[in-house]
């Protein structure tokens, strides 16, 4: 049964490497109408929501001025020998208000709370398991008093948990710098408070290195400490990409995560091979992977290799 499921998902993933071998591949009219209409409707809905929110603070609203929506929608079916099958999803949208020199924005999303306040959806490996209790809708307002090429400072507040109305506050500082000719360094510091969890801080470090025209390395580590964590919760990932086409790449990844004061501080680590490509559109991406990981959640549990295989569909919309 295990190998049958893996074989089925690999068949789904394999067209990613070969289905775009011809540059002349075009979607059918039905495909174009369906997917383009969905994306346009999603963008319009987010812009309309922003205009409605801004109407509470401005007397004169021009709907045509609200064209700054951007975000992503992800759907991730995955089978894991340890956890079984699951269908994960996340959504994030940001709209910059045209008033106040565009320093105010609205954010709406569904996903992991840590990813939401840290803005690390793109960095965190999709195979890292998350607390399902944090998979809830969130709505927030942001204020960005300083945004430059290297430095940015922002503040935010909002609610999560649907009708539970669990409020949060956060302050975030980002710094980016080019080291030498081929390495980019990124760091981010976040302080936050959430009604249900108290105060917390999070720190992220990321290194991106262009090793050649075709080889690219991405290193990432994040630590979070809060009243709800057992010590420091940390995630780390190292990826090595080979760009065999300008819009397609294969990669190998090693990743780890844990919490320092749990009975088993190293909760999981693993390796995987993945393939990422554009599909039909500049804003639609498919990523498939197969790998092994070594989870261990309790002291009495024996750590042993477990297979995992999955597929991620990512749709970008807006600007």
- Domains of the chain, with CATH numbers? 2-17+30-318 (2.40.160.40)
- φ, ψ of residue 53 to 5 degrees: the values are -65, -40
CB-based contact 269:294 (threshold 8 Å): yes
Q: Whats the size of the chain, residue-wise?
A: 319
CB-based contact 263:271 (threshold 8 Å): no
**pLDDT reading at 57 higher than 50:** yes
DSSP 213-272: SSEEEEEEEEEEEETTSSSEEEEEEEEEEEEEETTEEEEEEEEEEEETTSSSSEEEEEEE
Q: Which residue has the tokens 């011809």?
A: 22
| Per-residue model confidence as pLDDT tens digits over 151-195 | 889 999 988 765 667 888 999 999 999 888 899 999 999 999 988
| Per-residue model confidence as pLDDT tens digits over 271-300 | 999 999 998 888 999 999 999 999 999 989
139: closest CA among 121, 164, 122? 164
Give CA–CA dist 134/112, Å, rounded. 5
- φ, ψ of residue 114 to 5 degrees: the values are -60, -45
Give CA–CA dist 307/296, Å, rounded. 14
140 token code pair? 């927030």
């Amino acid at each position: 049964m295990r190998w049958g499921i893996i074989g089925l998902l690999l068949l789904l993933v394999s067209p990613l490497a070969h289905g775009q071998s011809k540059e002349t591949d075009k979607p059918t009219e039905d495909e174009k109408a369906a997917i383009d209409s969905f994306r346009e409707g999603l963008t319009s809905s987010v812009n309309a929501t922003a205009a409605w929110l801004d109407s509470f603070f401005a007397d004169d609203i021009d709907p045509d001025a609200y064209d700054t929506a951007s975000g992503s929608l992800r759907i991730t079916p995955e089978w894991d020998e340890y956890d079984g099958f699951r269908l994960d999803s996340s959504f994030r949208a940001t709209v910059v208000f045209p008033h106040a020199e565009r320093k105010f924005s609205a954010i709406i999303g569904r996903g992991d709370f840590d990813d939401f306040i840290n803005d690390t959806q793109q960095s965190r490996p999709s195979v890292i398991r998350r607390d399902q209790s944090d998979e809830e809708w969130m709505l927030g307002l942001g204020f960005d008093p300083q945004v430059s090429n290297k430095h940015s400072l922002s503040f935010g507040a909002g609610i999560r948990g649907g009708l539970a109305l669990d409020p949060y506050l956060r302050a975030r500082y980002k710094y980016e710098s080019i080291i030498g000719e081929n390495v980019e360094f990124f760091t981010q510091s976040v302080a936050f408070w959430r009604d249900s969890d108290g105060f917390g801080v999070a720190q992220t470090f990321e290194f991106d290195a262009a090793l050649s025209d075709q080889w690219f390395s991405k290193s990432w580590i994040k630590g979070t400490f809060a009243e709800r964590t057992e010590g420091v919760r940390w995630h780390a990932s190292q990826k090595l990409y080979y760009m065999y086409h300008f819009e397609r790449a294969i990669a190998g990844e090693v990743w780890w995560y844990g919490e320092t004061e749990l009975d088993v501080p190293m909760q999981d680590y693993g390796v995987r091979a993945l393939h990422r490509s554009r599909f039909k559109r500049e804003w639609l991406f498919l990523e498939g992977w197969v790998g092994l990981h070594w989870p261990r959640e309790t002291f009495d549990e024996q750590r042993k290799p477990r297979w995992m295989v999955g597929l991620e569909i990512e749709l970008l919309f807006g600007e």
